Amino acid sequence: MATRRAVRQGRHRHEVHAPSRAQWMALAFAAGSTGFLIGPFPGYVELVGPVADAITFFVGSVLFTAGGALQVWLAARHRADPGAGRAAWWTATTQFAGTLFFNVTTFRALDTALSSPAYDRLVWRPDAFGSICFLISGLIAYHASARRGWLPERDSVGWWQPGVNLLGCIFFGVAAIAGYVVPSTGSMLHLAAANWATAAGAACFLGGAVAALIGGHRSGPNAPRRPAPRPALTPRGSSRAGDDGQPATHWHEDR
């Protein structure tokens, strides 16, 4: 009997739970951000070639869209809730629209790589409409996060994520502006600004997504939550990924 009990306890101790939908969302954003982080570097396009580089951006944008779709799904059930629920819904839907714009522009970049030898002059530039959507979603999330004036409160888990997420949206906007002012002859200054700003924005998104993914493995119905007046909704609408598939917030929530 003691041996059977020990075996059952061992099985229970090593039980592995399947990732929640919120964790899959964070994983999709992390993988997509990685593509946008390495894609702009000139050394990468020289190593893999313009076609593979364009595929990197396109696959990254598709992963962004997959993460955005999961975020919309998770936020839909709380879209009528005042405050955090409604803000999460608008953040998710606005950002999802931006990912669709990026799908179009990265596909066009892929077509350019297949047909034009000048692809490597400007690796990829964020679409203006997509960048605007990202910026609006970042502003909504930051406004809904716990703040003291303009600055975030530092007494909650993931307090830094809304600000870093917004910074990434700003970097994508800078890359879009720099990309559109590159003339046909090519401006190395604007070219570098577009590529480096894209990579910097992707690094911000990657950091937030990884933090949400790691936090999701620690969170759950019994995970401790420090009280805060308002939730942080990032990265991309969730500060931590709850095991029940709902975006976890920074106040205690009975489940």
38-74 pLDDT, tens digit per residue, is 988 878 888 998 889 889 999 999 999 999 999 999 9
Whether the CB-CB separation of 190 and 182 falls below 8 Å is answered with yes
Residue in 34, 17, 12 with CA at minimum distance from that of residue 202: 34
> Taking 90 as the threshold, does the pLDDT of residue 36 lie above it?
yes
What is residue 164's predicted lDDT score, i.e. its pLDDT?
A: 93
As a whole number of angstroms, the distance between CA 12 and CA 7 comes to 9
**What is the pTM for the complete model shown?**
0.73
Whether the CB-CB separation of 73 and 13 falls below 8 Å is answered with no
93-140 pLDDT, tens digit per residue, is 999 999 999 998 888 888 777 776 555 445 456 678 899 999 999 999
As a whole number of angstroms, the distance between CA 100 and CA 74 comes to 18
Q: How confident is the model at residue 215 (pLDDT cuts 50, 70, 90)?
A: confident
For the chain, report the end-to-end CA distance as a whole number of angstroms. Answer: 36
The CA-based angle 56-209-75, given to 5 degrees, is 110
The secondary structure element, H or E, covering residue 135 is helix 128-144
Whether the CB-CB separation of 62 and 31 falls below 8 Å is answered with no
What is residue 95's predicted lDDT score, i.e. its pLDDT?
A: 95
Which two tokens mark 144?
A: 């809904």
The rounded percent of the chain whose pLDDT value lies above 90 is: 35
Whether the CB-CB separation of 215 and 239 falls below 8 Å is answered with yes
As a whole number of angstroms, the distance between CA 114 and CA 51 comes to 6
Domain boundaries, the chain: 18-219+230-248
Per DSSP, 103 falls in state H
As a whole number of angstroms, the distance between CA 97 and CA 228 comes to 30
As a whole number of angstroms, the distance between CA 206 and CA 92 comes to 17
Q: How many CA atoms lie within 13 A of 48 on its CB side?
A: 17
